[in-house]
Structure 1
C-alpha cells in the first residue's frame, strides 16, 4: 500500500472542489465532508442521512455518531450545504447511506471513493499518491496550520500521541507555522 500525503495547496483543493461540484453532488459532498472533518474513510462511507439530518429535514450542525463524540464532528456551513444538495440530488431517505451507490442501496465502495478522489486530484494537477486517507490527512494538516491544538487533532484522528499525529499529517515538531490566534470578539 502506498503512503499518501495531505494536500497542502489550498488552490489545488479549490480546483478539486470545483471539478467535483460540477460533476456530482454526492462526490462533492464526499470530498467536503472528508477534508473538513477528519473522519476515517470507512466511517465516512457508512454515514446515513439520519446521522446528518433531523426529522424535519434540517441539516444538523454536528454529526450524530457514537464514534466521534470527543470532540464532536462539527459540520460547517459549506459542508451542510453540500449534504443538503447530496440528499436532494440523490432523492435520499433518512435510512439511506449519504454516499449511496447509484446501482445498489449500499454505500459506494472504498475503491469507488478512491477513484473519485484520484480523478479530482488529477484534474487539479496534484502529483504523488492520492487516496481516501488523503482527505483525513488534509483535514489534520490544515487544522494544524490554522492553529488548532495538536492535542485536539490527535483526539479527532484517534492517535495515541501528538508525535504520531504530526507524522501522519506531515509536519514535524520544528515546522514553523504562522499561526494566528484571533478570537475576533
Structure 2
C-alpha cells in the first residue's frame, strides 16, 4: 500500500477545496466531509442523504444536527479477514461543515434520502445510482493535488489524515484524536497523521505564561538580574 500524507498547509487545503468546487460539486462536498469528519473513504461512500436529512411522517424535513454512523474496519490476519464495527456520532450543527452542506444541497426537498450522498455518474447494473468508487476518488484527489501544486503524496487516506493533522496542531489533544480514529496507542496516531520532529519542536514555542514585561531585566550597572519595578514603586 502506498504511503500518503496529510495536506499540512491550510492554504493548500483551501486551494484543493476551491478547485474541486469549480470542477464538480459532488467532489467538493466529498472533500469537505473528509477533512471535517476524519471518516475513512469506505465510510464516506456508505453515507446517504438520509444520514444528513431527517424526514417526519408529515413529510416535513430538516437537517440533522448529528450523523450517526457505524464505522467499519477490515482487519487482516494471515488470510483471514474480519470486519469490526464501531459506533460514532459526528456533530454537524454549528460547524463549518453545516454551512457547506446547506450551501451545496439546498433546497432540502429535492433529494432522495435512500441515494448515496456522493453519487457516481455511472449507474449500477440495474440502473441504480451508486456511490463514487474508491479508485475514482483516488484519481480525483491526485488530479486536484497536482493542479494545485501540492508536493505531499496524496491518496484516499489524505482527507482523514488532514483532519487529524490539523486537529492535533490546533488542540494538541492526542488522546481525543486517538479515540476518534480508534487507534490502540498515541504513537500510532501521531505516526498516522504525519507529525514530524519539527512539529514536536514547534510545540514548545506555543507554551507561554506571561508578557515580556513580566520577565526579569538585567541591571546595567551591576550585571545581575532584577525584577521590574511596579507602577506604585516607580511613582515613589
The TM-score with structure 1 as length reference comes to 0.86
The alignment status of 1:16 with 2:33, answered yes or no, reads no
The answer (yes or no) to whether the contact 1:101–1:108 under 8 Å persists in 2 is yes
Partner of 2:153: 129
Query: SS where residue 143 of structure 2 aligns?
Result: helix
Instruction: Tell me which structure has the larger Cα radius of gyration.
Output: 2
What per-residue deviation string (whole Å, max 9, x for no partner) do you get for residues 20-51 of structure 1?
11122111111000011110111011111111
The alignment status of 1:73 with 2:90, answered yes or no, reads yes
Q: 1:160 aligns with which of 169, 178, 184?
A: 184
Larger strand percent = 2
Partner of 1:30: 30
Aligned alpha-carbon RMSD (Å):
2.2
The 2-side partners of 1:167 and 1:179 are apart by 21
Q: 2:65 aligns with which of 54, 61, 64?
A: 61
In structure 2, the CA distance between the partners of 1:69 and 1:127, relative to structure 1 (3 Å rule), is same
Aligned residues between the structures: 178
Q: 1:179: how far off?
A: 5.5
The 2-side partners of 1:58 and 1:106 are apart by 24
Partner of 2:115: 96
Query: SS where residue 63 of structure 1 aligns?
Result: strand
Gaps of 5+ in 2: 72-85, 124-128, 208-236
Runs of 4+ in 1 over 6 A off after TM superposition: none
In structure 2, the CA distance between the partners of 1:85 and 1:106, relative to structure 1 (3 Å rule), is farther
The alignment status of 1:110 with 2:129, answered yes or no, reads no
Partner of 2:165: 141
The TM-score with structure 2 as length reference comes to 0.68
Q: 1:58: how far off?
A: 2.5
